[in-house]
Amino acid sequence: MQKRETSADELIALILHGIEEVKGLEINLLDLRDIENTVCDYFIICNGTSNTHVNAIVNSIQKTVSKATQDKPWHVEGSENAEWILMDYVNVVVHVFQKQTREFYDIEGLWGDAKVTLVESSFNQ
Q: What is the DSSP string of 12-53?
A: HHHHHHHHHHTT-EEEEEEE-TTSTT-S-SEEEEEEESSHHH
What is the Cα–Cα distance from 37 to 35, expressed in whole angstroms? 7
The answer to whether the beta carbons of residues 95 and 75 sit under 8 Å apart is: no
Q: Which domains does the chain have, with CATH numbers?
A: 8-107 (3.30.460.10)
Could you list the pLDDT tens digit for every one of the 125 residues in the chain? 445 578 999 999 999 999 999 999 999 999 999 999 998 999 999 999 999 999 999 999 999 999 999 999 999 999 999 999 999 999 999 999 999 999 999 999 999 999 999 998 765 44
